[in-house]
């Protein structure tokens, strides 16, 4: 099974904060994702100039596809970048990860996310979409989709309702499975009715953390899982250190989190989805898919950012092979 992703092509600036003062000053909700303009992102960069930081390609959808590709599946990614150095960084990162880029050059600058990591390891994201927000329906067509069997849709694309609905509908018409990550609780809160309609009509696999699941259904994690499973073929609700829950029809699995030393939670949900989708691409049981997702999530939170060093991937692949062979 070949896996395609679509999402915001962004470069992550990962900043470790000494306290929560900057988040307070920015008047953003801790743990959320907030869209900001160019001036705000420039202000964040200026105020964190002397702090420890990393620069890597990112965006929720691209992070998930990176996880799938790093386990060996054939992948591609659709997005929009600017004609600038950040755009080059993003493109080269995809190629280095053996992800086929379907990237379109747009006016404006490549999008940037300042991921602000507080001492408790939680991250708050201020996002300047830039060129990433210019992705359009003209960049998605049946000929491209038919080269793949599953498309993973980034939930943040809900800010472009025409695009996300067009893509999911066309993918279903082309015979693809469609997975959706709900992205962020505040995004879900602002788009509840639209998302419910999308899931009921076009989505096969839904990934949500407990806050996103509550925002969608108003219910506790397990009750939310049950409700989402009535809307989609497969429902996944992640509950942090307590692991995750997976349900499809009358099958339900409780997947424990692996033991991990938390450094930064950036990308944990994205990499979980990547591991889970990889398992699906290999025809594994939902329980095994969940364990692979849990493994990737546990390994990425021991790093700064959503990228896992190459030397660690070797051990991850060995563990995945062991899960597959059980």
Q: How many domains does the chain have?
A: 1
Q: What is the pLDDT of residues 238-259, one digit of tens each?
A: 999 999 999 999 899 999 999 9
Measured on CA atoms in the order 83, 79, 39, 14, is the torsion positive or negative? negative
Dig out the tokens for 286 from the structure. Answer: 């939902």
CA dist., res. 261 & res. 267, Å (int): 15
Under 8 Å between Cβ of 74 and 3:
yes
Question: Across the chain, how many H-helices and E-strands are there?
Answer: 13, 14
Give yes or no for residue 107 having a pLDDT over 90: no
Q: What is the pLDDT of residues 220-235, one digit of tens each?
A: 999 999 999 999 999 9
Q: What is the pLDDT of residues 124-170, one digit of tens each?
A: 888 899 999 899 999 999 999 999 999 999 999 998 999 999 999 99
CA dist., res. 37 & res. 41, Å (int): 7
Angle between helix 192-202 and helix 161-173 axes, rounded to 10 deg: 10
Dig out the tokens for 211 from the structure. Answer: 């806050």
Give yes or no for residue 265 having a pLDDT over 90: no
Under 8 Å between Cβ of 182 and 155:
yes
Q: Structural domain of residue 301, as residue ranges?
A: 3-7+59-108+131-325
CA dist., res. 228 & res. 206, Å (int): 8
CATH number at residue 307: 3.40.1190.20
Q: Is 152 exposed, middle or buried (0-12, 13-18, 19+ CB in 10 A)?
A: buried
- The mean predicted confidence, pLDDT, of the chain is 93
Q: What is the pLDDT of residue 29?
A: 85
pTM for the model stands at 0.90
Residue 147 belongs to a domain: yes
CA 3 distance to own-chain centroid: 14
């Amino acid at each position: 099974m070949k896996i395609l992703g679509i999402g915001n092509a962004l470069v992550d600036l990962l900043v470790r904060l000494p306290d929560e003062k900057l988040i307070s000053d920015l008047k953003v909700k801790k743990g959320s994702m907030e869209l900001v303009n160019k001036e705000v992102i420039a202000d964040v960069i200026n105020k964190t100039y002397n702090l420890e930081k990393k620069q890597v390609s990112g965006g929720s959808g691209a992070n998930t596809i990176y996880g799938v590709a790093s386990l060996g599946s054939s992948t591609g990614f659709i997005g929009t970048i600017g004609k600038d150095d950040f755009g080059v960084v993003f493109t080269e990162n995809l190629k280095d990860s053996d992800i086929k880029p379907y990237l379109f050059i747009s006016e404006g600058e490549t999008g940037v996310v300042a991921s602000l990591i507080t001492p408790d390891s939680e991250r708050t994201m201020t996002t300047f979409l830039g060129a990433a927000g210019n992705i359009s329906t003209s960049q998605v067509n049946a000929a491209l989709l038919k080269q793949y069997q599953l498309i993973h849709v980034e939930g943040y694309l809900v800010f472009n309702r025409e695009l996300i609905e067009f893509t999911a509908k066309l993918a279903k018409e082309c015979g693809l499975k469609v997975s959706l990550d709900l992205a962020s609780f505040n995004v879900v809160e602002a788009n509840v009715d639209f998302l419910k309609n999308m899931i009921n009509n076009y989505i096969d696999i839904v990934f949500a953390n407990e806050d996103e699941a509550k925002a969608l259904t108003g219910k506790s994690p397990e009750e939310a899982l049950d409700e989402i499973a009535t809307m989609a073929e497969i429902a996944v609700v992640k509950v942090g250190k307590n692991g995750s829950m997976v349900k499809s029809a009358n099958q339900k699995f409780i997947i424990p989190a692996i033991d991990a030393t938390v450094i930064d939670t950036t990308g944990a949900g994205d990499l979980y989805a990547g591991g889970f989708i990889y398992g699906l691409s290999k025809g594994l049981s939902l329980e095994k898919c969940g364990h692979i997702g849990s493994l990737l999530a546990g390994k990425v939170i021991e790093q700064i950012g959503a990228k896992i060093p190459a030397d660690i991937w070797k051990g991850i692949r060995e563990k995945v092979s062991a899960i597959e062979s059980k």
